[in-house]
Structure 1
Amino acid sequence: MLAAMSASPLPPRSPGDACARSSGDACPGALRLHRADDGALARIRIPGGILTIRQADALRQVAERFGDGELHLTSRGNVQVRGLPADCGAELAGLLGRAGLLPSARHERVRNVVASPLSGLDGLGAADVGPWLTGLDRLLCASDRLTALSGRFLFALDDGRGDVDALGADLALLGRGDGSALLRVGDTDAVLRVPASDAPRAALLAAGAFLDAARDTGAWRTKDLPGEVASALPDDVLRRLGQAGIAVAPGSHPRPPEALRPATGRLPGSRGEAALSVGVPLGRLNPAQWRLLSSAGGLRLTPWRGAVVTGIAPHRADSLLGALTEAGLITGPGSPWAGVGACVGQPGCAKSLADVRADAGAAVGPAGRLPVYWSGCERRCGHPHGEWIDVVATPDGHRISHVRGDRTTATSTVRDDPAALAAAVAAARGTHTAAPRGTHT
């Protein structure tokens, strides 16, 4: 049954996102496993999503030896392994450590860094963020102070194209073509201009300023800070950077309203090499798909549950793209899975009211112009940013809404009718009238 609803703002989409420190930080990691309904869960942080062949193979071994065999990609370019036995922690840590995936046991849950996945590949960014990524991770792992950061706190390294800057990070570094970088502190258009060579150190100092500001507020992230504290934070960071000898100047740079994910398919590569961008249906990779991706070249996982394979010989690119298509990955905008995402849902999550991955699969049809995300409860874990169709399982059925930035408008609720649900979702995804933007999938 399809029940029409009037357009009106809904409550916040992720009530858990803006919580204070009423209890300890329960974010899972590689060393702190989370108990789910399908077994223990490990979340392995991969700064910038960049993996060597050896590291990718270690993750495959973890999934096959201890877990359900699948690698689950997250909205921060990290990897989760599910279905783990509760007593596998020591063996898992040893395997990951030998592969270089745990450079610091004390910092492993705070190495939350997303980076422009095409930086240095297609010539479109203003700066290559690779050196920033290496420098920031090194400084982060060397800082005793920053072990106090929450596992939710996020750094973004944007090469100037505006892709990961739109993801709502707590601290963002933005590349410029003039040898400088912009540091965005929190959700504001205000930025601080610093020399590009000082950008990682500036981000580290800003993270320390946040911790001091959050001490008496219980905030996990910058968006959790009380208004007056959040407003004062950029000025405090400006002062600290100056005291540290970093040339800094205030400015303004609007945050992009939506993230432009990489287009799927073949991309230009550097030095005569080729690169391929693929999407992963519902972020799940089986061992065969993972081997195909990780053995072909360098691997960069994206915050959109996809991957970029780099360093491919040009004569191999087309055949590899065909193999990835045959393996069930998204290699072009016409795929019915393009733009479709979902949380884990039942049976893996006790809070979920439905098996939303199965629901999403049953509703897959022609590619829509807007992305759609299926959630098993009101928390909407892993939901996208910008404009999208929100499908949430409720006690009354699946509620379908249109999200634009901070505004969520309900369109309909569908009760116990898979065909009607598929039709309603398809109609909602086709209601966008703006011209499609070139880098969307």
Structure 2
Amino acid sequence: MLAAMFTPARRSSPQATAVSRDRGDACPGTLRLHAADDGALARVRLPGGVLTLRQAETLVDVAERLGDGYLHLTSRGNVQVRGLEDGCAGELAQLLDAAGLLPSRGHERVRNIVASPLSGLDGRGELDVRPWLTALDAALCASEAAQALSGRFLFALDDGRGDVAGLGADVTVRATADGGAELGLGTAGEALRVSVEEAPRAALVAAETFLESTPEGRAWRVDELAMSADDVLDAVDRHLTAEGIRHERQLREGRCTDGPPPGAIGAGLSVHVALGRLSAHQWREMTHVASEELRLTPWRGVVLPTHGQHSASLARLTAAGLVTDPHSPWLRVGACIGRPGCAKSHADVRADADEALGAIGPSVLPLYWSGCERRCGHPRGDRVDVVATPGGGYRLSTAVSGQAPRTTSLDAPSRLATALAAITP
């Protein structure tokens, strides 16, 4: 899977990059749509990626009635509906609200929470994070201050296995082996230890402290603050004390793991979605297999809690075109929307990625295809960036921690293997 490894910063290091924003972020939601070349786009926040079967049916109904008929997964376990018709915003909001997918109109763009998708299903992890997820989402929606968070601000709830702890969240809560919880801010190398019971409230306090530290929303993410990691932790420390939340400093756990591979896992099944796009048929096949809910993952996959019969269910999902093979090359390939959905894209990157799939060997770095230099949605961690150029073709560049980029050009997807051999060991 394309999970990133997390390397803690030194305690005395400043935050990664101080940024001063002169406008609010333009992240779409369900009430504020984004105009794309293929129609309007709505992004539905799903804390923890969790959907009841009823909510899942509502989303596929929305995609078929109002959109392009597909559901598009994001790198935060959310869903996008594309190709929305003009004038459908009111009906869209009404349908989502009736299904419980719009619990607070003032907070709908800030409910960005990823959580360990296998928590409670496979016997691993230190605790089931579902109570944390429920409590944090409720506290977030009840906080008037939290409405000012950027749509890019991210919470991560890790059950101790280290899967979502490596995703670069702004506030990370991680269960520890000694029965406590670790509260981390951005990429700071130190954390604050809190009790399991206080962890969700502590996470919200950290987010509200961030808002007080960035005048007029000049920063959207914790690592954009013009403060050192120490200063950020000191500020959160003071606010936790004021709220009566007991805590202490400790070094942050650095071990991280990948997301779930496809296949049978404990009391559930895991599938990967090629390029994150699901047809209505594929979506409904998953709801037939799942026992009570779907869990969308930040790796553009879906975990399906089931009642058994894994072999028959996996065969059904494979027949629907979902990735159930843990060795599939699709696990190493991602792409932005490209043409025709994006006016800035120089190529139909998804079609080209599909054509070049056979060149992805097991030893090749993960590839991410982008239609332009913005590289929207690119993953964290080591990879090869395949970026379309204005004059046609692509530029390939390695992005490997601690190494200078190696670059070459590609004039046709069919020649990808040769281009990769020129820049990767």
TM-score normalised by L of structure 2: 0.91
1:117-137 CA distance string (max 9 Å, x none): 111111221121111000000
Aligned to 2:326: 333
Aligned to 1:421: 416
Aligned to 1:13: none
**Does the 8 A contact of 1:377 with 1:393 survive in 2?**
yes
**Does the 8 A contact of 1:175 with 1:181 survive in 2?**
yes
Quote how far apart the aligned CAs of 1:395 are: 2.9
Distance in 2, Cα, partners of 1:255 & 1:235: 21
Aligned to 1:67: 67
Distance in 1, Cα, partners of 2:319 & 2:361: 18
DSSP 3-state at the match of 2:124? coil
> Relative to structure 1, is the Cα distance of residues 80 and 264 closer, same or farther in structure 2, using a 3 angstrom cutoff?
same
**Does the 8 A contact of 1:114 with 1:303 survive in 2?**
yes
**Does the 8 A contact of 1:376 with 1:393 survive in 2?**
yes
Distance in 2, Cα, partners of 1:406 & 1:99: 47
Aligned to 1:205: 205
Distance in 1, Cα, partners of 2:376 & 2:416: 21
Quote how far apart the aligned CAs of 1:155 are: 0.3
> Relative to structure 1, is the Cα distance of residues 280 and 217 closer, same or farther in structure 2, using a 3 angstrom cutoff?
closer
1:187-235 CA distance string (max 9 Å, x none): 111100000100000000000110011116710111211244x541111
**Does the 8 A contact of 2:335 with 2:368 survive in 1?**
yes
Aligned to 1:176: 176
> Relative to structure 1, is the Cα distance of residues 65 and 428 closer, same or farther in structure 2, using a 3 angstrom cutoff?
farther
Distance in 2, Cα, partners of 1:368 & 1:428: 16
**Does the 8 A contact of 1:194 with 1:249 survive in 2?**
yes
Quote how far apart the aligned CAs of 1:18 are: 8.0
- Stretches of structure 2 that go unaligned for 5 or more consecutive residues are 1-16
Write the mapping of 1:312-331 to structure 2, written as runs, cut at 5 A: 312-314=306-308, 316-331=309-324
1:79-128 CA distance string (max 9 Å, x none): 00000013101100011011100000110000000011111111221121
Distance in 1, Cα, partners of 2:67 & 2:56: 15
1:343 paired with 2:336, answer: yes
Distance in 2, Cα, partners of 1:245 & 1:254: 25
1:387 paired with 2:387, answer: no
DSSP 3-state at the match of 1:109? coil
DSSP 3-state at the match of 1:157? strand
Aligned to 1:260: 258
Quote how far apart the aligned CAs of 1:408 are: 5.9
Distance in 2, Cα, partners of 1:102 & 1:18: 33
Quote how far apart the aligned CAs of 1:240 are: 1.1
- Count of equivalent residues: 404
> Relative to structure 1, is the Cα distance of residues 265 and 429 closer, same or farther in structure 2, using a 3 angstrom cutoff?
farther
Quote how far apart the aligned CAs of 1:154 are: 0.3
> Relative to structure 1, is the Cα distance of residues 200 and 176 closer, same or farther in structure 2, using a 3 angstrom cutoff?
same
Write the mapping of 1:15-414 to structure 2, written as runs, cut at 5 A: 20-215=20-215, 218-228=218-228, 230-256=229-255, 260-269=258-267, 275-297=268-290, 298-310=293-305, 312-314=306-308, 316-365=309-358, 367-369=361-363, 370-395=365-390, 397-405=393-401, 409-414=405-410
> Relative to structure 1, is the Cα distance of residues 185 and 392 closer, same or farther in structure 2, using a 3 angstrom cutoff?
same
1:344-380 CA distance string (max 9 Å, x none): 0111111111111111011001553432111111221
Distance in 1, Cα, partners of 2:39 & 2:330: 27
For 1:235, the aligned partner's letter is D
Quote how far apart the aligned CAs of 1:39 are: 0.4
Quote how far apart the aligned CAs of 1:23 are: 1.9
**Does the 8 A contact of 1:160 with 1:176 survive in 2?**
yes
> Relative to structure 1, is the Cα distance of residues 216 and 98 closer, same or farther in structure 2, using a 3 angstrom cutoff?
closer
Quote how far apart the aligned CAs of 1:336 are: 3.1
1:132-190 CA distance string (max 9 Å, x none): 00000000000111000000000000111111111100000001132210000111111
**Does the 8 A contact of 2:262 with 2:272 survive in 1?**
yes
For 2:373, the aligned partner's letter is E
**Does the 8 A contact of 1:41 with 1:84 survive in 2?**
yes
> Relative to structure 1, is the Cα distance of residues 379 and 200 closer, same or farther in structure 2, using a 3 angstrom cutoff?
same
> Relative to structure 1, is the Cα distance of residues 245 and 77 closer, same or farther in structure 2, using a 3 angstrom cutoff?
same
For 2:265, the aligned partner's letter is L
- Stretches of structure 1 that go unaligned for 5 or more consecutive residues are 1-16, 270-274, 432-441
Distance in 1, Cα, partners of 2:58 & 2:417: 38
Task: List, as ranges, runs of 4+ consecutive aligned residues in structure 1 with deviation greater than 6 Å.
Answer: none
Q: How well do the aligned residues superpose, as a CA RMSD in angstroms? A: 1.9
Distance in 2, Cα, partners of 1:357 & 1:246: 48
Distance in 1, Cα, partners of 2:97 & 2:220: 27
